Chain A
Amino acid sequence: MTNTKTLRLIDTFLNGLSEDFGAFADLKMEALDALRTQGLPALKEEEYKFTPISKKLESTFGEIKATQKINLTAAQVAAAHIPGLDAHVLVFNNGQWDQELSNFTGAEFQILSIEENEANLNGKIGAIAKNDRDHFVPLNSLTFQEGISLEIPKGKALTKPVLILHFVQALEGNYTAPRTYISAQSQTAGTFIEKTISLDEAPYFNNVVTEIHVGENAHIHYYRVQEESRSGITVNNFETNIHRDATFTSVVLTLQGDMLRNNLSLNLLDSGCEGNMYGLYLVNGKTHVDNHTNVDHTKPHAESNELYKGILADQSRGVFNGKIFVRQDAQKTNAFQQNNNILLSEDAIVNTKPQLEIWADDVKCSHGCTIGQLDEEALFYLRARGIGKESARGLLLYAFAGEVLEHIKEESFRDYCIGLLQERLGGSY
């Protein structure tokens, strides 16, 4: 598949474009140019070597078409809520902001429609997740509708986390493109939790772009749980600019989908800042999960920590690629990366690759990756004490995986994730 051939997939979009882009015309023009030259990922393209996303989209849909909105009800929103979590709730309906079903009364943040506020947001949207970043960013830039900008004003610490619920269901079309821009001004704090709910088993392609500005001394946690339908295809482009003395921590729990690709990029733009990325993928069936992470250390005295763990059963497939750039200026950088995998079946596959580019000389960097089976010695030890085989496996896998979920600071969400993990491992540990 050559790049231009991949454009067949988005023919409907390209043909349906009007001369006048309306809001964000510059961004969209640029996106269109990027798409015309780059196309979608070609089959052998390095960045998508193990994740043949274009082929997947083509065989699933032939062609990508935007889907209609769903008739969502408040009951559906309530049912998707995390038990025990007191949160502001933001609802996306097939990628489009649904103000009516959202509930954030009394929130310390402001929400604006992206399209209706070009004057305020021009130069911000697309400035963090740039159109030349990944093939799917320009596709989103060109196609998003009813995106939102959320701003935490200077000095405000959110008293409640923000729960972002994405409801997806292919209706006539198959494609959704949510766009979110979050700006945490200086000295702010906030926690975001994002969850996708597939309303049925019809295949869809959810092309998500999230941009986050983490201002000076701001402290942001971002959690995401991916438990989509077995035919859900998702590409997430998530990019954040982290400023002086700020911290940003993400935890991504992936449980199910058809093909899921997460591009997560942390740009550490100043001294004293810290970026942390944690991920757990616990997949079975034919789920394919690909985490491409990217940390860019540009200034001295910043730190990044990364731990991704995978448990793969059946014919599932995992890909981990961790890039760390330490630029010449970024002396005294601390950067740590670890990726550990357990394969539970002969047919499960993991490809893991650290990619470090270090231009500064006074830095501490470490990375490591492992792929193995469940520790048989440990399993026997537990069984020799009277613990049944399945429980013993569960205990060991839970111990392996739990280390990632410990980084979730929001208790009821952590409990929720632990519940999902235990459900998957078949028991409580």
Chain B
Amino acid sequence: MTDVPVRREKLKSSWIFRPGVRSAVIQILLVALVVLIGWFIYRTTRQNIITQRIPIGFDFFWIESGFSISQTLISFNENNTYARAFLVGLLNTLFVSALGVLFATVIGFLVGIGRLSQNWIIARLCGGYVELIRNLPLLFQILFWYLAVLAALPGPRQSFTFFGDIFINNRGILMPKPMFGDGIGIVAAVAAAGILLSIVMTALARRYRVQTGTALKTWPFSLLLIVVAPLFVFFFLKVGVTVDRPELKGFNFNGGLRIIPEFLALLIALSTYTAGFIAEIVRAGILAVPRGQTEAARALGLRRSKLLQLVVVPQAMRVIVPPLTSQYLNLFKNSSLAVSIGYPDLVSVFAGTTLNNTGQAIEILGITMLVYLVISLVISFVMNIYNRRIALRER
């Protein structure tokens, strides 16, 4: 009995066992290790580059690319530089990801809510969707849409034709493209200003309602600002409109607006796949709202739609948003599977063709990683702001 405190005394005296010291030592060691590894990687790379006499640097950006790209949101041809090719690839990645996020969210919410539906058939259908989509590899789904569905469409000469001007074939979907004359920029500017103004107006009206309890009708003004005003300017300036129609010329259609099958396949696969996961997140979020909340709202006499809008959804969103963010990040990163079906995304155009033609592997992979990192961080940042806004505020 008596020697117990003595032993404790001894233990205490050994500074190495003090938690603070110990964790500091571990952290210093860890940092040292990381620095060491980094240094060795740097040294090996440097040595390899020297012995293999590989030029390094970013001058390659300003060399003429010499290749063409099948989908470009900004104009691009063989005479343009690798820098512009990079931009084309980046925009293609952002484009498919942004639309993917949009569609995945819409489908995901519909399916997630549908799974909780009172209607047995809808609930089962949505459940089946989730199980099917979540359990098949994404690459397989992309290839399925590309090779089994879109490639099975007829050739340009046998296109499916809708309304005389819309053609669907194995080269994509073609439709007439409206071409606007001078002044369309002003119309667009007016519309943009209208959207901004109505956002501000809605926010002000909301604050007024919170303070005074009186709801103001804002939508007629929004309609005026966003639709009527630009239309007025459009007719006032007499902006000319011509239509560029797709036309079969030899092997392919010329003119018009074309959505390429690679883009469609990737977009469909990314949206439906991610929607499967989002559906489950939404379902979990809704189920996480305590029953008492719904019952209380009903006791107050709220209609079902108001009940969802005012009570269930705001609380469910708090559970939904954090995992939703990681689904968005997944979708964005998964978009790089584009290479397997020839969609010209950043990885295909820049980390693929450009890397191969210039051989600047370190620079190009470095930039590509950085781009993915930065965009992922931006997505997280935006979602975090949103999350903070909807978070529970203690009063």
> Do A and B make up one complex?
no
